[in-house]
Amino acid sequence: MKFFVDGANVKEIKELAEMGLVDGVTTNPSIIAKTGRKIKDVIAEICEAVDGPVSAEVTATDVEGMVREGKYLAKIASNVCVKVPLTEDGLKACYRLRQENILVNVTLCFSSMQALMAAKAGATFISPFIGRLDDIGQEGMTLISEICQVYDNYPEITTQVLAASLRHPLHVKQVAEIGADVATLPAKVFKQLVKHPLTDNGLDAFLKDWQSTGQSIIED
């Protein structure tokens, strides 16, 4: 499974990249707005920090506007992946951008049939939102399972399932078990995945035992 960071904090992204954990990054207008910086500058800096796809979302809602913004964003760096909403105009924009070999992430997916339409339009990634479905009493994981099953039925589909709106480690575990291609998660969830109390307790015990010997691994 690939791991993408969902955020725009370049410092956090670089720290995770140093652990070899970052395969890409996803952003959205809300995340970019919180930085207080120009989108072009933020995306360019993130693209320089990671080798994988960096999703940058359009804000236009009409097809011509989305295509125009998408082409502009794609010029920022070679690893920009243009993010468009799963609407009729979004699918038209996806198809046109893909005709020019621009990576496209179709976002705000909430049904397997929407996901199938995005795949037909040539989407590089489809982003189903798990947490938001859970919030309204529906089972987000069921959607991931349904999309994976539909895609697996058709070998010609190359669209990758990018599980989004992951809120905690259990979400990550579940999408990994189902077989999603990518999980995008906030930096804090990355850190929660690494931590375990038994690891900390075991390390403390090892260090105390070693210190009692008075030895040093590297001797002068």
Which of 138, 69, 137 shows the shortest CA–CA distance to 104?
69
Q: Which of 14, 40, 75, 83 is catalytic?
A: 83
Give the burial class of 8: count Cβ atoms within 10 A of its Cβ; 0-12 exposed, 13-18 middle, 19 or more buried: buried
CA distance 80 to 58: 12
| 8 Å CB contact between 146 and 169 | no
Q: Which helix (H) or strand (E) holds 6?
A: strand 2-6
CA distance 184 to 161: 11
Q: Catalytic residue at 38? A: no
Cα angle: 40, vertex 125, 43; to 5 degrees: 10
Q: How far is CA 158 from the centre of its chain?
A: 17
CA distance 154 to 81: 24
Catalytic residues: 83
